[in-house]
Amino acid sequence: AQSVAQPEDQVNVAEGNPLTVKCTYSVSGNPYLFWYVQYPNRGLQFLLKYITGDNLVKGSYGFEAEFNKSQTSFHLKKPSALVSDSALYFCAVRVDTGFQKLVFGTGTRLLVSP
């Protein structure tokens, strides 16, 4: 089954420091990978996607993600964290079985301290 895993329930980082939120995937064929962010009482907001091409994908709000085929990873990164980045982050993979759906990880809570 195609899936993604987020090994960390929570990531703590100080404001101004770089942050990494980890995601690994298990996919047959070419992976289509996504990162979404969820703020309290809000829906999911799209951050970025990897379809093909450059392994470093740039997205919204200064976030980027590095696709690594050999390690089957798609880690989310930001060079300098902001307190306002504190939220719940989900990695997802698109699964095509005659129709397209997103399969999400369990989420990682990012807490950025002042």
Partner 1 sequence: ETGVTQSPTHLIKTRGQQVTLRCSSQSGHNTVSWYQQALGQGPQFIFQYYREEENGRGNFPPRFSGLQFPNYSSELNVNALELDDSALYLCASSLERGSYEQYFGPGTRLTVT
Pick from 16, 41, 6, 10: nearest CA to 110: 10
Tell whether residue 113 is a contact of partner 1 (CB under 8 A): no
Dist. CA 44–CA 38, nearest whole Å? 5
- Interacting stretch for partner 1, rule CB under 8 A, among 22-30, 60-68, 72-80, 86-94? 86-94
To partner 1, the closest distance from the beta carbon of 18 in angstroms equals 25
Dist. CA 112–CA 114, nearest whole Å? 7
Binding mask 48-77 for partner 1 (x = CB under 8 A): -x-x--------------------------
Beta bridge mates, 25: 4
- Candidate residues 29, 40, 99, 114; the one interacting with partner 1 per rule CB under 8 A: 99
